Amino acid sequence: MSKSNFYEKLKTISGITVTPFNKDDQEIDWQGVEENVEYLMDKGLEVIVPCGNTSEFYALTIEEANEETKKTVEIVNKRAIVVAGVGYSVKTAIDMGLEAKKNGAEAIMIHMPVHPYITSEGAKNYFEEIIKGVNMPAVIYFKDSHLNDEILVELAHLENFAGVKYAVNDLPRFAKAVEMLPKDSKVAMICGTAEKWAPFYFMAGAVGFTSGLVNVYPEKSFEMLNSLKNDDYAKAMEIWHEIVEFEDLREKYNSGNNVVVIKESMEMIGLKAGPTRAPVAPLNSEDKESVYNLMKRWGFDPVSK
């Protein structure tokens, strides 16, 4: 797929999948993976991202992550684009990307390096080596506010640098980053912090957004997308008020609740999510009650567990 075509494909919701685990041994529930991906397919998702942070990427072994991407590609069966999350060292990320490519993924999403010592120049080299090494469309997950946005400009000429999942919630900074990119670069700038921030990012130049909410309530995510595509910001803000409590719950404890709120919501409405793996803890009773009440307000018939 050409960079230009992939740019157009990213003008939508990038659905970050959840990795369901069995309750008894916390091994991956592969039947649950299939059911959850089919749920997203039935709801019309066009971009599926296994092995993102909401997938508990760093709690997976590399073998598990590779297998999850492989199975996701098989389940999707060309009904959507699969963008596989890769990360860790440069060599590991390239190996994971090549494995995803062999198994039929259309692109990779490169996680922000987790190395404790990182500079802008080092990050640029990291992303560039992986993009060139895998040689397929790549999205950079940009979430370290200490790094310079000039990285994106310096990488824009790369044939396979196709998008940025921008997750630094500094809107003037994001707007400047959009303006800095060459107009013909065809790098899709995506809101990387979901529906809560999507209306504001779109006003600053975003063309799509990532979502964990789609695993629970995809209809509401698409309402947000359609209102933004139609420049109907009044409608987008109506939807924003409906979902902001959910996203606020996910952001509690320095976003420590990010995954577990989604998993708890899924379990309450009959979808397969299972527990989280360490270091993510179960929801406390107060937050669990908040999720239950929100599911009721959204019209679901939640089960308290």
Domains of the chain with bracketed CATH? 3-221 (3.20.20.70)
For residue 105, the model assigns a pLDDT of 98
What is the rounded average pLDDT for all residues in the chain? 96
Show the DSSP H helices in 59-166 as ranges: 62-76, 90-102, 120-134, 150-155
For residue 286, the model assigns a pLDDT of 97
For residue 305, the model assigns a pLDDT of 58
Closest CA to 209 of 173, 240, 255, 251: 240
For residue 79, the model assigns a pLDDT of 97
Tell me the C-alpha distance between 280 and 59, whole Å: 9
How many angstroms separate the first and last alpha carbons of the chain? 45
Is the separation of the CB atoms in 50 and 15 below 8 Å? Answer: no
Q: And the tokens for 46?
A: 């066009």
Query: Is the pTM above the cut of 0.85?
Result: yes
247-294, pLDDT tens digit by residue? 999 999 999 999 999 999 999 999 999 999 999 999 999 999 999 999
Under 8 Å CB-to-CB from 132, ≥6 apart: which residues? 158, 160
For residue 183, the model assigns a pLDDT of 84
Low-confidence residues of the chain, pLDDT below 70? 305
Which amino acid type is present at position 39?
Y
Helix 218-229 / helix 233-255 crossing angle, nearest 10 deg: 130
